[in-house]
Chains A and B, each alone.
Chain A
Amino acid sequence: MRLDLDDPPQTVMLQFHSGGWSHRAFWGDDEIPFGTIGSDGPDHRPHGALPATGEWVRLSVDPANVGFEPGAVIDGMAFTQFGGRAHWDRAGIVTADPRLRLGGLSAEVFAAFEVAPEARSAEQSELVAAHYRNLAPALAGARERKATLEDEHKKLEATFPEMLVAMTGEPRAMRVLPRGDGMNESGAEVAPAVPAFLGTLDVDGRATRLDLARWITAPENPLTARVFVNRLWGLFHGRGLVDSVGDFGMQGEWPSHPELLDRIALDFTGSGWDVRALVRRLVTTRTYRQSSEWRADLAQEDPSGRLFARQSRQRLQAEMVRDTALAVSGLLNRRVGGPSVKPYQPRRYWAQLNFPKREWQVSSGTDLYRRGLYTFWCRTFLHPSLEAFDAPTREECTVSRNLSNTPQQALVLLNDPTYVEAARAFAAQALALGDDDDARIDWIFEHALVRAPTEQERSILTALLIDHRTQYAADPDAARAFLDMGALTTPATGDAEASELAAWASLTRVVLNLSETLTRS
């Protein structure tokens, strides 16, 4: 082994298994608490100081020293260190037993050799033949071909996408834990089942998860479809037909339109649980397409929107805030599926994590602009931009998200490189597409807000544009610094173009920060 020069372990230990692990030799400080500490017995035998660091050393143990009689069978070996870094390399045996000097021979093959060829059984003959095949020079070519084919086979298998399949062994005895105490084994043993008040699983023998899945989606079980349909309705309308989205029980809310809920739920299961069709249906209804503008005549009739007399206005969910900015700016990567990605995240945001310590490895290329849904989800330190907009950490099941309104959100939209880049890309598009300032502002509004700007709005933005144009023209270095943020390269431009783009990026930053951009109305 080789102990690291700068950060060696304090103790290294070898342990040998023969019926139990009580055969140990250690070097260095007595830090590893296995065996009878301080006894100097064979189960915790000191072997002197730590070997030299920074070079390859061989640790030697005399079996007699750690409690082995001749003839003992050692069937396990453990390498243990206390702290530090070390490289553990080959382990072996030094012996004078002639039988073991024929390296690599198993006991059976050796025994077959000891028998005269004519007296060998068919099995023994085959063993010897196989051994020969492994060694014969004449068969070297065949062995090489075999190795190559095995290698290709392995490589081919590695390209197969893996599915995690757990093979169950014997089912464990599961008990009810009194007061949730994991160490209390006095509770009754229970078998898999569904909550008694919801019915029973109709199975022979022990119920499996497949039984549970079938029960959840059984035609006689109206609950699943109703809950799911209600959640989608809530996503599109700001509130569900049942207000208590996570509770369809006795403490939940009564549906505002029970027949409608039933109808949609039935159609959903009837369609074969086709989510796409359900979504298409929900967003093509007249109800969905209503305006969310406040109407005086509804103030009395439907003040809280419970009757869906108009559409709701609500801030977008965290992932969609990001998606909107990227979509509007043309950066959004719409690829579906595949592994999670890591967009820009402040440096050392993960510094409080351990086991192991780790750093956020930012993705590259178009992976940076995938939908927020594909962001790598670290539950203990959720990506701060997502967290700022109330994305749940997923440490617990979250049915409804908050809709908070905090200065952290403002800081994210103003200063997160993702949004600065988006503003820049958005500005570049506007510059390319429009002929003059007015046309570009129109295009920007149309693209982000699906409407034309009012004169007042136009004049506010134009004033900003002119001001920043002047400022960036006078300070092209600042313009370049602004345009250089993020991985997105700005095509090589002269000072004048850089200043112009920077000024427009100020303008698009404003638009990406508007309440209206963040709000589905």
Chain B
Amino acid sequence: MSGSIDFRGLDFNGFDLTRRTFLRGVGGAALASLLPAQETRGRGRGVVDPPHIAPRARRVIHLCQAGGPSHLETLDFKPKLAEMHGEKMPESFTAGQQIAQLQGIELRCFAPQHPFQRYGESGQSICSLFPGVGSIADKICIVRSMQTDQINHDPAHTQMNTGSGLTGRPGMGAWAVYGLGNESSDLPGYVVLTSVGKGGQSQPIAARQWSSGFLPSRFQGVHFRSEADPVLYVNSPNGVTRGRQRDVIDAVSELDAIRDAASHDPEIATRIRQYELAFRMQTSVPELMDVSDEPEETFELYGTRGGDGTYAANCLLARRLAERGVRFIQLYHRAWDHHSNVKGSMEITAKEVDQASAALVIDLERRGLLDDTLVIWGGEFGRTPMGQGSGRDHHIKGFSLWMAGGGVRGGISHGETDELGYAATVDAVHVNDLHATLLHLLGIEHERLTFPHQGRDYRLTDVAGRVLNEILG
């Protein structure tokens, strides 16, 4: 079938594979030396080369709080909601708006279940369940006016990743690697880590969330798991040592090279390159996942010794991935869908993420990485100011997230919701605007990074998106 073959002959490091001549008629030992070595970390090549604008960030870490964390018990303090606890939710707020499981049920105000405090010199207002985030208050920008269009989890994740609720499009991770390439020579450019919380049901995440959509599949996210096989099939078969695996790959490449000379098939050279990369991943991935070389102090900072599949362990891995040049790192912590007992569940879930999220920012900063790493903490939507039993339902008209690093100013907040925390009323930020800003910080004009598909040029922000210049440093 005619399909889209790697259209520039580039692999996921941006190396140009149309240069085949060097592979003709070589034996095994010489082969390895002829493949371009990546000793120095150069900028991996993407299609945006040179950047459209001066980049502020070189990589992104998206800490996705999956399930939809309540903004009312994290980042958006609503004393008026406390005053009106138990009263009917005024219809002026909810009339005509989408509603999820609370459909047909009488809507009543449900007070914030935990107190807020002011933190840092900037005096940021943050729920007291998050002292860790409080300790980095001066480094973060809190956005309280987020809005999305999708009120259920899978479509909302799809929108948060791809800019649209319709499936089949690439996520921001794939766009980032497509645009800028990969700075790592032996790890994928887009890596996904997942963890599950204990406070409430864990909504599932589909692998589609990190697919490359209609972009070439080498831009898809690769899921790194906390299993014996951290990347699928990364371990050689039993009884096959690294040396014997190398021998097999060498033989494959030599035989393929002979074929290449005879047949002029550009896929062969690409394939040889992929085997090389696969072999390198067989070492680089376990080496990345083995955090035993970290100093004791780091384990204390994150609150984990790693290797246990927790959110904290993933945050530590995220820093290691950032150091190794991975372009887009995405964590999913499946824990926030608090339809009941938001008070108790929040306590549990906050403990799972607070220390490590702050630790990641601090760790990046002291390693000189925070300035060019954009960190985003937030979920696919928020939760209703109206109670659902002892919990809250899905909510899309106003929710919160925070960002740090990568050109975003710290110690500030952007946007507001109304007095009950229902709708964004000041400086509303749609997911498209978030994406426009993210790309801008990466040095990409969101209207110019496109890909032709189904007869038109698509972009991450599709037909919308505004860069939030107000929050840039």
Q: Are A245 and B234 in contact (CB under 8 A)?
A: no
Set of chain B residues within 8 Å of A401, measured between Cβ atoms: 1, 3
Spot the interface stretch: B74-82, B170-178, B204-212, B426-434.
Answer: B204-212
Q: CB of A408 within 8 A of chain B? A: yes
Chain A residues numbered 391-438 whose CB sits less than 8 Å from any CB in chain B: 393, 395-396, 400-412, 414-417, 420
Interface residues of B in 271-298 (CB under 8 A from A): 271, 274-275, 277-279, 281-282
User: What B residues does A471 contact at CB under 8 A?
Assistant: 244
A432 CA to B390 CA in the complex, in Å? 70
- A488 CB to closest chain B CB, in angstroms? 13
Contact of A415 among B194, B205, B235, B271 (CB under 8 A): B235
Cβ of B238 and Cβ of A461 under 8 Å apart?
A: no
The CB with the most chain B CB atoms within 10 A, among A240, A385, A415, is that of A415
Is B95 an interface residue, CB under 8 A from the partner?
no
Contact B251 A510 (CB under 8 A): yes
Q: How far is the CA of A195 from the CA of B173 in the complex (A)?
A: 38
Q: Are B2 and A234 in contact (CB under 8 A)?
A: yes
Interface centre among A33, A293, A460, A519, by most B CB within 10 Å?
A33
A361 CB to nearest B CB, Å: 18
In the bound complex, what is the Cα–Cα distance between A183 and B98 (angstroms)?
9
Chain B residues lying within 8 Å of A382, measured Cβ to Cβ, are 207
Q: Check if B205 sits within 8 Å of A352, measured CB to CB.
A: yes
**Nearest A residue to B211 by beta-carbon distance?**
A393
Q: Are B217 and A404 in touch, CB under 8 angstroms? A: yes
Report yes or no: A393 in contact with B239, Cβ–Cβ below 8 A: no
Determine if B194 and A239 form an interchain contact, defined as CB atoms under 8 angstroms apart. Answer: no
Interface residue? B237 (CB, 8 A): yes
B6 contacts chain A at the CB level, 8 A cutoff = yes
Q: Is B241 an interface residue (CB 8 A)?
A: yes
Q: Which of B3, B251, B255, B281 contacts A400 (CB 8 A)?
A: B3
The B216-253 residues at the A interface (CB cut-off 8 A) are: 216-218, 222, 225, 227-229, 231-241, 244-245, 247-249, 251-252
Is A335 part of the binding interface, using a Cβ–Cβ cutoff of 8 Å?
A: no
Q: How many residues of B contact A (CB 8 A)?
A: 76
Known contacts A415-B236, A467-B247, A478-B239; A514 and B255 CB within 8 A of each other: yes
Partner of B233, one of A346, A478, A515: A346
How far is B237's CA from A126's CA once the two chains are assembled, in angstroms? 75
The distance from the CB of B246 to the nearest CB of chain A, in whole angstroms, is 11
Which one of A52-60, A114-122, A197-205, A479-487 is at the interface?
A: A479-487
Compute the total of residue contacts between A and B using a CB distance below 8 Å.
213
Residues of A within 8 Å of B275, CB to CB, are 407, 410, 513
Determine if B217 and A521 form an interchain contact, defined as CB atoms under 8 angstroms apart: no
B56 to chain A, nearest CB (A): 30
B:383-422 near A, CB below 8 Å: 388-390
The complex places the Cα of A380 from the Cα of B274 at a distance, in Å, of: 26
Least CB separation from A304: chain B residue: B2
Pair B233/A416 contact, Cβ less than 8 Å: yes
Q: Is the CB of A347 within 8 A of B247?
A: no
The answer to the question of A353 belonging to the interface, with a C-beta cut-off of 8 Å to chain B, is: yes
Known contacts A352-B205, A514-B255; is A414 also within 8 Å of B12 by CB? no
Contact, CB under 8 Å: A380 / B258? no
Q: Is B265 an interface residue (CB 8 A)?
A: yes
Most chain A CB within a 10 A radius of its CB, from B11, B267, B341 = B267
Taking the closest CB of chain B, its distance from the CB of A11, in whole angstroms, is 10
Check B37 for interface membership: any CB of A closer than 8 A: no
In the complex, the answer to whether A410 meets B244 with C-beta atoms within 8 Å is no
Whose C-beta in chain A lies nearest to the C-beta of B101? Answer: A33
- Using Cβ atoms and an 8 Å threshold, which residues of chain A touch B274? 405-407, 409-410
Report which of B3, B251, B268 forms a contact with A464, defined as CB distance below 8 A.
B251
**CB atoms of B167 and A395 under 8 A apart:** yes
- Among the interface residues A37, A401, A414, A484, which one has the most CB atoms of the partner chain B within 10 A? A414
Contact yes or no, A515 B259, CB < 8 A: yes
How many angstroms between the C-alpha atoms of A17 and B252 in the bound complex?
Answer: 71
- B34: CB under 8 A from chain A? no
| CB neighbours of A245 from chain B (8 A) | 1-2
Q: Given the complex, which residues of A lie within 8 Å of B11, measured CB to CB? A: 405
CB of B267 within 8 A of CB of A482, answer no
Contact A238 B218 (CB under 8 A): no
Contact of A405 among B6, B202, B244 (CB under 8 A): B6
- Please measure, in the bound complex, the distance between the C-alpha atom of A483 and the C-alpha atom of B254, giving whole angstroms: 25
Residue of B nearest to A482 (CB): B239
**Chain B neighbourhood of A381, CB < 8 A:** 206-207
Report the bound CA distance from A477 to B98 in whole Å.
64
B463 at the interface (CB under 8 A from A): no
B167 x A506 contact (CB < 8 A): no
Docked complex: A20-51 residues within 8 A CB-CB of B: 31-33, 37
A273 beta carbon closer than 8 Å to chain B: no
CA distance A92 to B388 in the complex (A): 33
Q: A480 CA to B238 CA in the complex, in Å?
A: 9
Which B residues are within 8 Å of any A CB, using their own CB?
Answer: 1-6, 11-12, 28, 98, 105, 167-168, 194, 201-208, 216-218, 222, 225, 227-229, 231-241, 244-245, 247-249, 251-252, 254-256, 258-260, 262-265, 267-268, 270-271, 274-275, 277-279, 281-282, 334, 340-341, 388-390, 455
User: 19 A-B contacts, Cβ less than 8 Å apart?
Assistant: A31-B390, A235-B1, A348-B225, A348-B227, A352-B205, A380-B207, A396-B168, A402-B5, A409-B274, A411-B282, A414-B233, A417-B237, A460-B254, A461-B255, A464-B251, A467-B247, A514-B252, A515-B259, A515-B260
Query: A406-B218, A408-B278, A482-B237 provided; 20 other pairs, C-beta below 8 A?
Result: A238-B2, A346-B227, A351-B225, A352-B207, A354-B203, A355-B204, A380-B208, A400-B3, A401-B3, A403-B3, A403-B267, A405-B6, A408-B222, A410-B278, A414-B236, A468-B244, A481-B239, A510-B255, A514-B252, A521-B263
Mark A residues whose CB is within 8 Å of B: 31-33, 37, 82, 183, 234-235, 238-240, 243, 245, 251, 293-294, 313-315, 317, 346-349, 351-355, 379-382, 384-385, 387, 390, 393, 395-396, 400-412, 414-417, 420, 454, 456-457, 460-461, 464, 467-468, 471, 477-485, 502, 506, 509-510, 513-516, 519, 521
Q: What are the nearest 4 A-B pairs in CB distance? A: A482-B239, A410-B278, A481-B239, A380-B206
